[in-house]
Structure 1
């Protein structure tokens, strides 16, 4: 029986840990009786997205993202609606998708999943045509994602510092939403997150009940709030109880159209991006094959 061809794509700047000997560690843990492997260290943003179709043409069918949610997005968007299969070794700052899918953060345990090779199909979303797999949205979290990307520091502590420093200056915005089967909605929001998976990363659960295989997106609208309520919101976020807050309104849909007064930053899978006044978001059911526990 021929071996499966598997490509590991390592993002050398993901997360905060040193990556010395990471490639050697992966090859040592890999089941070579099952796989014929190659390792590629990405050199620039978008590198992985370009390599995947080339390697698919060479007979590779499994592609392992060794990085964070941004790395996962780069590889996964080249695999959607194909026979290619995504694997994840999470070494990023947040690892939101991996945590939702219960893929171990520990490299040895993550490699055991790769060797076992259990594959299932999951949903993914599109925001103005661009694929996302975890969350996307506008408002404060998009603003923070943009500021975090500019910061030289990485990791969870840097993210918290940026969040606290920018909280006092951020002004909530007005939005118009058109949600299928529900209708039109006008709102002033601190943030609006559309969730395919349950969390941003680091076990910060913006949509605790989100199901990545139900064919629906969760629309999470957090109303503006006063400073004294911020600690409680933070606690609920990490305790999987933000959906119980009186400030949070949640709906489910397959398609959403969001309008705002000005073009500006959005986020998807932790990466900031500039988009226009009108934003279209939709779910693609079971469009990505992933190695899961």
Structure 2
């Protein structure tokens, strides 16, 4: 559901004035000049209307956002990459406070899916327009995610990538090539909306949005407001298929590959053969023991986004798409 928040919401008296917009900046995300972003933000709003706060450590952005949710601030804006966006958004789930984003990281997955401009002034204009969309949130055990989470090769790459000093797509590709040399597909037990199966997979990604970040798409047909998760199973493939698969990932055509199977559902349970498992959510690597429980939370987050974006129509040709909520079909 989309809505327009009125722009004339009154502020409190000067002695107790509360800002309408709180910008939470991660000072170490990406390579944009954060002081310049702060100055651009403060010039774009009336005095007292916007407040800029800097996060100081991992988890701090979520704590800051939670405090302002308690104060009923209408908008909390994440200024950073996917990790910063995840922290701020996690504090806003099932609240009336609206998420805004100024992309300033290396991946910028959610902002890309929402078509938010990367130019700071243009992103601010989107926020000032106050056009609100309601989107879904995913939940991995007790952790929220908004783009993707998963297990297998991409999770292992995510852990290696986090230890490196090269950010962005080049750093991710470097980690992927390093891990690919010795990596082998793994066996998993998967349950989707009660339907059990055993799979051997190179990776399994649970997608709320279509991409990991950097426009690297795992499920081009995924929608962030349909109340469904796309369970993307990349099957074992010959080494000769690596380059064609990489091109399909970057070209939003991975859903045309015979090595990808997509199942749609609302609740997922996933377990590998080992108790200790490498997982990723919105680019953040973690280690989980035992079963992984994932579910979709429909309409759990309000976000400010461009108003004029038209729905994307995706034509599938070769990939297999199944849903446990409706009739199976081959695309």
Deviations 1:170-223 (A, max 9, x none): 122110101116x11111111000000010111111000001110000000001
Deviations 1:43-99 (A, max 9, x none): 100001111222223342210000111101000111101111100001111111110
> SS at the partner of 1:237?
helix
Q: TM-score, normalised by structure 1?
A: 0.95
Q: Partner residue of 1:268?
A: 281
**For the residues of structure 2 that align with 1:59 and 1:233, how far apart are their CA atoms?**
46
Say if 2:113 and 2:209, in contact at 8 Å, map to a contact too.
yes
Task: Name which structure has the greater RCO, CA cutoff 8 Å, separation 6+.
Answer: 1
Whose Rg is larger? 2
**Do residues 147 (structure 1) and 149 (structure 2) align?**
no
- TM-superposed CA distance for 1:267, in Å, is 0.4
**For the residues of structure 1 that align with 2:54 and 2:78, how far apart are their CA atoms?**
10
**For the residues of structure 2 that align with 1:106 and 1:47, how far apart are their CA atoms?**
25
Deviations 1:80-132 (A, max 9, x none): 01111100001111111110111111111111001111112100100112110
5+ long unaligned stretches in structure 2: 1-7, 12-18, 307-331
**Do residues 13 (structure 1) and 53 (structure 2) align?**
no
2:62 to 26, 33, 49: 49
Q: Partner residue of 2:50?
A: 37
2:223 to 211, 229, 239: 211
Q: Partner residue of 1:255?
A: 267
> SS at the partner of 1:290?
strand
Say if 1:16 and 1:155, in contact at 8 Å, map to a contact too.
no
1:97 to 85, 88, 110: 110
5+ long unaligned stretches in structure 1: none
**For the residues of structure 2 that align with 1:276 and 1:242, how far apart are their CA atoms?**
30
> SS at the partner of 2:166?
coil
- TM-superposed CA distance for 1:153, in Å, is 2.2
> After the TM superposition, which of the residue ranges 115-124 and 16-25 deviates more from structure 2?
16-25
**For the residues of structure 1 that align with 2:26 and 2:200, how far apart are their CA atoms?**
38
**Do residues 199 (structure 1) and 214 (structure 2) align?**
no
Q: Partner residue of 1:26?
A: 41
Q: CA RMSD in A?
A: 1.4
**Do residues 75 (structure 1) and 88 (structure 2) align?**
yes
**For the residues of structure 2 that align with 1:286 and 1:82, how far apart are their CA atoms?**
11
Mark the CA change 1:203 to 1:261 in structure 2 (over 3 Å): closer, same or farther.
same
Q: Partner residue of 2:197?
A: 185
**For the residues of structure 1 that align with 2:57 and 2:45, how far apart are their CA atoms?**
29
Deviations 1:9-61 (A, max 9, x none): 11111123343422112212x2328x711111111000011112222233422
2:253 to 221, 241, 244: 241
> SS at the partner of 2:178?
helix
Q: Partner residue of 2:4?
A: none
> After the TM superposition, which of the residue ranges 145-154 and 186-195 deviates more from structure 2?
145-154
1:292 to 301, 305, 317: 305
**For the residues of structure 2 that align with 1:246 and 1:161, how far apart are their CA atoms?**
25
